[in-house]
Structure 1
Amino acid sequence: MTGEATLLDATSIARELRTVFAARAAEVDATASFPEENLADLRRAGLLGLLVPATAGGIGADLATVSAVAGELAAGCLSTALVWAMHTQQVDAVVRFGSPSLREVLLPRVAEGAYLASVTTEHGKGGHLLSSDAALSHSADDVEIVRDAPVVTGGRHADGFLVTMRDSPGANQQETTLVYANREQLELSATSGWDTLGMRGTASGGLKLRGSVPKSHVIGAPGRFREVALDSMIPLGHIGWASCWLGTARGALAALVGHVRSPRRSKDLDPRSPLVAERLARIRTDLEIVSAYLHRVVDEVTRARADGTPLGTSAQIHLNTLKVVAAEHTYRAVDRMVQLAGLGLGYRRDSAVPLERHLRDLRSASLNYSDDRLLVATGTLTLADSDVRLA
């Protein structure tokens, strides 16, 4: 690592960190521990401020750079990369929708390394993003947060939180407001641990939060979180997740190809074998499909932001499709790698190519904001997109 990142070398620094993170990934997985050392490295490198404008001390990167950095980090440690990608999602919401006073104070802190977590899950509604049960209480100057979330990625380690809540006790569930709170403004208590099949380092246990913040900490218009979600949190979430999953699968394939090309390979992995070549081709095809669609959607969202135009129905379909395609194809690719590598190389936890861990981690992809929910939404949106504007 060479010091604080700039726009030109952010991806190169992420590539350096990839090697460092890979060396720690097995321990993070085995102990289900939050990757604090990795977060400290990201902080020192300036990558927590990747989307913070240069005027506030950050890098001011574009979405293509976010995607590239996420992929590099995920090739080393998917848990770390996903924590970073979700932090970046929160930063984008502050940059695009935060009040001037909040941006003035918070964005320089993020550029210096403050880590932001997302609080959108809720008992009874799961991960449904656009509605809330718990309601904000309003006073003359402040809003009071009382929130119980069953899943908060990296919450116990966060310096600040973006929280969705019903705008008031009299508001309906869809009148959701996004509000920011510094850690020191909240009383926090853990309600559950995080002992899971994969993604064990994200420390996504439950949290209760209680505290008050100034009304200037409301992000976007009160009760209109949907606008923030459609413009910022959904695009950054789906692009970030897809980039992470693809980065992990791509790194796994590179390691497997290196083994197949090595003179120390097993006799079952003869590179001259047509069966080996055919199976590698199918794996590569899965990843090429995800990569092409990811780049296409990044370009679409980038153009819309440059033009100042909202993301329409077709763009929302494309974002949903990206998430589902990336979740399904990257998992299938690694599953195929396990099958090709066999019991000794592909299935053992102590293998030189950690396909077993990648398979467990990527199994979460279809569950991380359920593919079923997104497919239902995409089907409904398809009825409104009569021109069928394909990506």
Structure 2
Amino acid sequence: MTNAAAPATAAEALARIGALREALSGSGDAADRAAEFPHQGIDALKNAGLLSAAAPAAYGGAGLTAAELTELAMRIGGHCGSTGMIWVMHQIQLVCLAMGAESRPVIADYLRTAATEQHLIASVTSEAGIGGNLRTSRAALVQVGEDHLLEKHATTVSYGEQADSLLVTARRDQQAASDEQVLVLVLAKQARLRRTGPWNTLGMRGTCSAPQHLQAVVPSGQVLAEPFSVIAANIMVPLSHLLWAAVWAGIATDAFRRAVRFSQAKAARAGGTFAPDPRLGRMHATLTMLRSEVRGFAADFARNAQADAFPRDLTMQSNALKLSASEETVRVAAQALEVCGMAGYSEEGGFSIARHLRDLYSGRVMISNDKINAVNTELLLNGEDLLDRA
């Protein structure tokens, strides 16, 4: 099938996702059972031209804003958590590439190719021995003639084996400090990946985030000019927390809707003796506040990106959103499970909440909440009290 052109508007993108409901939902069930990549769902998004949603229009993408990407992420996440997470992680890589495209013709050319051919781009920021700190690397670029040799032992590489390219963090050279990092574009044909461990997890099983040993030789033009510290602070971290939160909100919203449908079916059977379950109201209130929080930060991020201004408090805001979303969505799904009872506890059927709850628990360990709280605490102790900032 020929890939469609990128959607011209966010409304068109949402309409395309609506048409893919069955493919996305069905792909999620199959991927979850076998911990396999959701080919059906990702192929459907690719054929609909939706993998290039975040790529700027100048490079052939839809050029959607963070706020618009957020709405798409919630919608996709409501159909399949793994597919939604893969889609948002890919979009984050597109935005990172776009940040470096103006100063690197090779990056600009690849961004056009990725948009036209609907390439899937993975991220390799994890590494053995760094304790989950993406702002630190042990791996370093090694100059070999005109090219660079890169070798990295990554603890998790989501959908790396299915990706067309990877964005990899490493020290600028062998003499660089651990936090003097760059971001390197590695094409799949340049990479040698070797899986070094299993992928058999509680949830988000379709992301296929097994540990990998990476070896690659790349030309210097594929090293982004901007320091990774700038890319991480301004783009990767806040956008990751925003779009992850959107996917989690989408999953929790679907769990809530299943609980509502279960209660409606129960009421129809009971006739006039049915007592409404107040947990539905509590879930709705929680989701209303959370979705508002997600959309509020999305609007803030989009405004900052348009003005090319990234205030220091962006880190704390995005961290707070990640913490809130990863915890509140689990509570919503747990309440939905209690409302649906055994029908929710089942792995099958239209009222099952099992995959929702398992997928949502991943949020607490996708960058540990304890580590994020520690970062925010350190910022607060250094005078970053932002609650009453005008």
| TM-score (normalised: structure 2) | 0.93
Structure 1 CA distance for aligned equivalents of residues 49 and 133 of structure 2 = 32
Q: 3-state SS of the aligned residue for 1:364?
A: helix
Per-residue displacement from partner, 1:312-358 (whole Å, max 9, x unpaired)?
A: 2x22111000001000000110011111211x212111232220111
Amino acid of the structure 1 residue aligned with 2:31: V
1:370 maps to what in 2?
A: 368
Preserved CA contact (<8 Å) 1:147 1:208 = yes
**Is 2:162 the partner of 1:157?**
yes
State yes or no: 1:110 paired with 2:109: no
Task: Please state whether the residue corresponding to 1:262 is helix, strand or coil.
Answer: helix
2:71 to 45, 68, 73: 68
Alignment partner of 1:57 out of 47, 50, 60: 60
Unaligned 5+ segments in structure 1 are: none
Deviation at 1:310, TM superposition (A): 2.0
Q: Is the 8 A contact 2:28 2:41 kept in 1?
A: no
Judge conservation of contact 1:93–1:219 (CA < 8 Å) in 2.
no
Aligned 1:276-295 pairs, distance under 5 A: 276=277, 278-295=278-295
CA separation of 1:134 and 1:103: change in aligned 2, threshold 3 A:
closer
Structure 1 residue 90, shift from structure 2 partner: 0.6
The amino acid of 2:221's aligned partner reads S
- 1:10 matched to 2:13? The reply is yes
Corresponding letter in the other structure for 2:324: V
Aligned-partner Cα distance in 1 for 2:94–2:269 = 46
Q: Aligned match of 2:236 in 233, 238, 243?
A: 233
The one-letter code matched in structure 2 to 1:107 is: L
Counterpart-to-counterpart distance in 1, 2:201 and 2:216? 30
- Distance across 1 between alignment mates of 2:220 and 2:45: 31
Rounded to whole Å, the distance in 2 between the matches of 1:250 and 1:155 is 29
Return the offset for 1:48: 0.8
Q: After superposition, give the CA deviation of every residue in 1:276-319 in whole Å (9 maximum; x if it has no partner).
A: 0x21121112212211111111111111112221232x221110
**Equivalents in 1 of 2:320, 2:85: separation in Å?**
19
How far apart are the structure 2 equivalents of 1:35 and 1:270?
44
- 1:306-317 alignment, distance < 5 Å: 306-312=306-312, 314-317=313-316
Aligned to 2:93: 90
Structure 1, residues 37-65: CA drift from partner, whole Å, max 9, x if none? Answer: 21111111111111112222111111111
The question of whether the paired residues in 2 share the 8 Å contact of 1:18 and 1:74 is answered with no
Task: Tell me the CA shift for residue 387 of structure 1.
Answer: 5.0
Aligned CA-pair RMSD: 2.1
Cα distance in 1 for partners of 2:351, 2:386 equals 46
Instruction: Report the CA distance shift for 1:187/1:67 in structure 2 as closer, same or farther (over 3 A).
Output: same
Q: Aligned residue pairs: how many?
A: 384
Please state how far the C-alpha of 1:220 moved relative to its aligned partner: 3.5
Residues 137 and 170 in structure 2, CA contact (< 8 A), matched pair in contact too? yes
The AA in structure 2 aligned to 1:87 is H
Task: Report SS of the residue matched to 1:161.
Answer: strand
TM-superposed CA distance for 1:140, in Å, is: 4.7
* Structure 1, 323-332 or 352-361: larger mean CA deviation: 352-361
**Residue range with higher mean Cα deviation, 150-159 or 138-147:** 138-147
Letter matched to residue 95 of structure 1: A
Alpha-carbon distance between aligned partners in 2 of 1:389 and 1:17, rounded to the nearest angstrom: 44
Alpha-carbon distance in 2 for matches of 1:379, 1:176: 25
Is the CA contact (8 Å cut-off) linking 1:230 and 1:311 kept in structure 2? no
For 1:256 and 1:24, the matched residues in 2 are separated by: 22
Q: Closer, same or farther in 2 for the Cα pair 1:195/1:271, shift >3 Å?
A: farther
The residue that corresponds to 1:360 in the other structure is: 358
Distance 1:271 1:108 in 2: 61
Paired position in structure 2 for 1:135: 140
Please state if 1:30 is matched with 2:28: no
Tell whether the 8 Å contact from 2:107 to 2:222 is kept in structure 1 after alignment: no
SS where residue 201 of structure 1 aligns? helix
- Partners of 2:259 and 2:280 within 8 A in 1: no
- The residue type equivalent to 1:378 in the other structure is N
Task: Report the more deviating stretch, 3-12 or 116-125.
Answer: 3-12
Instruction: Note if contact 1:20-1:76 (Cα within 8 Å) is conserved in structure 2.
Output: no
Are the counterparts in 2 of residues 261 and 271 from structure 1 also a CA contact under 8 Å?
no
Equivalent residue in structure 1 for 2:218, among 213, 222, 237: 213
Aligned-residue sequence identity (percent) comes to: 30
**Aligned with 1:319: secondary structure?**
helix
Distance in 2 (alpha carbons) for counterparts of 1:159 and 1:3: 18
